[in-house]
């Protein structure tokens, strides 16, 4: 009741309070639970960051060990769930495969669905953290027509995921420590970003008291869009198109500025960051180092760097405060690691998972939480009578 404010895209509307992630978009600051992203990127690891986001503090060594063990214990997927993957077409995009399989977790693990039972919430937290990377790797294997390996719980989450993604039963798997370290870092950078589109989706779905699997599955679908997580795949498509056309970078930028057929500079711009995206800064710094070690495609990196240079000195981008975002350079790194482009947004989803879980749990414990139910300004017909015929 009372006056309804109109705020399309929620440009200025806070839908919740939250103690998880702090962003200052003008200063380019990002902190998880108070810790600057630069510090976490330099000193922490993805598992520890997941704990931090979900429980609020860095774990003690004992807490870390328990958390790690619990997640390792839950990596196996129910055998019948594996049958799911056979139902999709061979060329299926792995994002809807991932969201479907995560949604299906509600049917296989019915003993952890109550959002108000602390033990069940803990169990679904471990299950999701353990099983989602496995589901993601199986979606990749399915698209390649390769056999799915069983997880090896002597490995940590990132190592296991890499082995399940690239390993083959016929030969020993070579774990490249450069890839492990780089992927871990990228997952940290994606782990939470306050009330972005997918996280708001997780909260909105969860606000009806839907279970954690159902809420996260909805978040995965929100992340799939090219304006959100799908941008990392779209950036690489854009770089490839520029490369294939032989068109100078300046000409492509002109087409973006003229808003030709909706051409955007993918990987640029952000709703909140209006100075720079601190995650993009870290990715750019490491991109050169990692690509040098992994032998990435130099020509695509050159095109990306040239695009950035041209855009950052162009009035169109300067006046609109458009800077490279986290998705601008990540695709090049994922590609150098050997992931096909369709997997890029799936990697984002694995990274964002602890953030979704932390936000969902925070909401369920918040006495202020109400079912999400936005209002509207009606623009349709006034009342009219059904004609007598
Ligand atoms: N290329 C060209 N012009 C752009 C771009 C871009 N990437 N981004 C924004 N603009 C223009 C936009 O056309 C508008 O111009 P005008 O005032 O003339 O109409 C102005 O800048 C303001 O943009 P907006 O669309 O109103 O800004 P928004 O806050 O609603 O959208 C965004 C933010 C991220 C959706 C948008 O910048 C975008 O579409 N970027 C490309 C996709 C992308 O890289 N997404 C990843 C975001 S970061 C990580 C993640 O969430 O996945």
Q: Is 326 in the pocket of ligand 1 (CB under 6 A)?
A: yes
What is the rounded CA–CA span in Å between residue 151 and residue 189? 25
pLDDT band at 292 (very low <50, low <70, confident <90, very high): confident
ipTM above threshold 0.95: yes
Q: What is the mean pLDDT of residues 208-229?
A: 97
Q: In this model, does residue 217 exceed pLDDT 90?
A: yes
CA atoms within 13 A on the CB side of 12: 3
Quick one: pLDDT at residue 288?
A: 82
Quick one: pLDDT at residue 354?
A: 98
pLDDT band at 121 (very low <50, low <70, confident <90, very high): very high
Check if 152 is active-site. no
**What atom of ligand 1 comes closest to residue 223's alpha carbon?**
52
Nearest Cα neighbor of 135 from 64, 74, 176, 187 is: 74
What is the rounded CA–CA span in Å between residue 282 and residue 280? 5
**What atom of ligand 1 comes closest to residue 267's alpha carbon?**
44
Nearest Cα neighbor of 110 from 127, 94, 97, 135 is: 127
What is the per-residue DSSP string for 188-253?
HHHS--TT-HHHHHHHHHHTTT--HHHHHHHHHHHHHSTTTTTHHHHHHHHHHHHHHHT--HHHHH
* Cα dihedral 277→283→285→289 (10° resolution): -170
pLDDT band at 182 (very low <50, low <70, confident <90, very high): very high
What's the mean pLDDT when you consider all of the chain? Answer: 95
Instruction: Identify the residue whose C-alpha is closest to ligand 1 atom 21.
Output: 320
Quick one: pLDDT at residue 290?
A: 84
Helix (H, G, I), strand (E, B) or coil at 168: strand
Q: In this model, does residue 286 exceed pLDDT 90?
A: no
Quick one: pLDDT at residue 383?
A: 98
Quick one: pLDDT at residue 54?
A: 98
Q: In this model, does residue 287 exceed pLDDT 90?
A: no
Cβ(277)–Cβ(330) below 8 Å: no
Q: What is the mean pLDDT of residues 273-297?
A: 87
Collect all residues with Cβ–Cβ distance below 8 Å to 300 and sequence separation of at least 6.
Answer: 236, 239, 240, 243, 332, 335
Distance of CA 311 to the CA centre of its chain: 25
Q: Which residue has the higher pLDDT, 2 or 374?
A: 374
Q: What is the mean pLDDT of residues 116-140?
A: 98
Quick one: pLDDT at residue 298?
A: 75
Distance of CA 217 to the CA centre of its chain: 12
Give the angle 156-220-168 at the CA atoms, nearest 5°: 40
Q: What is the CA(366)–ligand 1 centre distance, in A?
A: 32
Cβ(364)–Cβ(125) below 8 Å: no
Give the angle 140-327-196 at the CA atoms, nearest 5°: 95
The sign of the CA dihedral 114, 116, 117, 118 is: positive
At 268-280, the pLDDT tens digits run 999 999 999 999 9
Instruction: Identify the residue whose C-alpha is closest to ligand 1 atom 24.
Output: 271
161 backbone dihedrals φ, ψ, rounded to 5°: -60, -45
What is the rounded CA–CA span in Å between residue 109 and residue 113? 8
Instruction: Identify the residue whose C-alpha is closest to ligand 1 atom 31.
Output: 271
Q: What is the CA(76)–ligand 1 centre distance, in A?
A: 40
How large a percentage of the chain has pLDDT more than 70?
99
Q: Is 42 in the pocket of ligand 1 (CB under 6 A)?
A: no
CA atoms within 13 A on the CB side of 47: 24
Structure tokens at 116: 């108000």
How large a percentage of the chain has pLDDT more than 90?
91
Quick one: pLDDT at residue 194?
A: 97
Q: What is the CA(228)–ligand 1 centre distance, in A?
A: 10
Instruction: Identify the residue whose C-alpha is closest to ligand 1 atom 12.
Output: 320
Quick one: pLDDT at residue 88?
A: 93
Structure tokens at 88: 């999709």
At 56-94, the pLDDT tens digits run 999 999 999 999 999 999 999 999 999 889 999 989 999
Q: What is the mean pLDDT of residues 29-55?
A: 98
Check if 74 is active-site. no
Q: What is the CA(270)–ligand 1 centre distance, in A?
A: 6
Quick one: pLDDT at residue 1?
A: 57
Q: What is the mean pLDDT of residues 234-245?
A: 94
Quick one: pLDDT at residue 242?
A: 94
DSSP bridge pairs for 31: 22, 36
């Amino acid at each position: 009741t009372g006056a309804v404010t109109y705020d399309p895209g929620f440009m200025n509307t806070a839908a919740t309070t939250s103690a998880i992630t702090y962003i200052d978009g003008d200063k380019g600051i990002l902190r998880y639970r108070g810790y600057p992203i630069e510090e976490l990127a330099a000193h922490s690891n993805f598992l520890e960051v997941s704990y931090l986001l979900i429980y609020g503090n860095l774990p003690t060594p004992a807490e870390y060990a328990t958390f790690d063990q619990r997640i390792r214990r839950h990596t196996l997927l129910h055998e019948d769930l594996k049958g799911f993957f056979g139902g999709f077409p061979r060329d299926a995009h792995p994002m809807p495969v991932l969201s479907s399989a995560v949604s299906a977790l509600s049917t296989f693990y019915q003993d952890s669905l109550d959002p108000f039972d602390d033990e069940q919430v803990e169990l679904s937290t471990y299950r999701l953290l353990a099983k989602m990377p496995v589901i993601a790797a199986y979606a990749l294997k399915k698209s390649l027509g390769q056999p799915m390996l069983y997880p090896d719980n002597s490995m940590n989450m990132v190592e296991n995921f890499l082995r399940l993604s690239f390993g083959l039963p016929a030969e020993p798997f070579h774990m490249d420590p450069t890839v492990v370290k780089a992927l871990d870092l990228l997952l940290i950078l994606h782990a939470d970003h306050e009330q972005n589109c997918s996280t708001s989706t997780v909260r909105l779905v969860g606000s009806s008291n839907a279970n954690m699997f159902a809420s996260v599955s909805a978040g995965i679908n929100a992340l799939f869009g090219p304006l959100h997580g799908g941008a990392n795949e779209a950036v690489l498509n854009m770089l490839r198109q520029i490369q294939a056309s032989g068109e100078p970078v300046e000409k492509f930028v002109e087409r973006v500025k003229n808003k030709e057929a909706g051409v955007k500079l993918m990987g640029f711009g952000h709703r909140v960051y209006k100075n720079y995206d601190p995650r993009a800064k870290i990715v750019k710094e490491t991109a050169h180092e990692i690509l040098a070690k992994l032998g990435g495609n130099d020509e695509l990196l050159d095109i990306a760097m040239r695009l950035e240079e041209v855009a950052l000195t162009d009035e169109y981008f300067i006046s609109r405060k458009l800077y490279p975002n986290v998705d601008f350079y990540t695709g090049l790194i994922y590609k150098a690691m050997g992931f096909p482009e369709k997997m890029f947004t799936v990697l984002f989803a694995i990274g964002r998972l602890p953030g979704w879980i932390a936000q969902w749990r925070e909401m369920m414990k918040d006495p202020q939480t109400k079912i999400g139910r936005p209002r509207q300004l009606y623009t349709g017909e006034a009342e009219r009578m059904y004609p007598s015929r």
